Amino acid sequence: MIDTAGFWTLTILLGIGTFLIRFSFLGLLGGRQLPDRVLLYLRYVGAAVFPALFMPLLVWPEATGGTPDPARLIAGLAAFAAGLRLGVIWAIVAGMGALYLMQFLFA
């Protein structure tokens, strides 16, 4: 376990670090117009982050001990298909619905 002084030192340093990251965008660039090239690249941040959030849970799920699960793979395919055709919100709904349905059918 970490001692009390180390815990508070780490907590304060992490707080300062996250403040500086946010301030670099909001405080320094908040009132300025960003160049068109930067705005173009920022449009792809969500598309890059969203798969990075769920792919580890799809390919190496902790619930199954790290082995691929057919229910999760089918739900991922359903979410992918809905996302291509209908958008992000419907991809989430389709993926959740397919996961619950597959878990019910495979259980």
Three-state secondary structure call for residue 65: coil
* pLDDT tops 90 at residue 106: no
Taken in order 17, 22, 28, 34, is the CA torsion positive or negative?
positive
- Asked whether the beta carbons of 80 and 91 are under 8 A apart, the reply is yes
* Domain, as residue range, for 5: 1-32
Whether this model's pTM surpasses 0.75: no
Return the pLDDT at 89: 92
More confident call, 97 vs 66:
97
| Domains contained in the chain, number | 2
> What does the pLDDT look like over 2-61, one tens digit per residue?
899 999 999 999 999 999 998 987 888 778 888 899 889 988 888 888 888 888 888 888
54 lies in the same domain as 101: yes
Say if 28 falls within a structural domain: yes
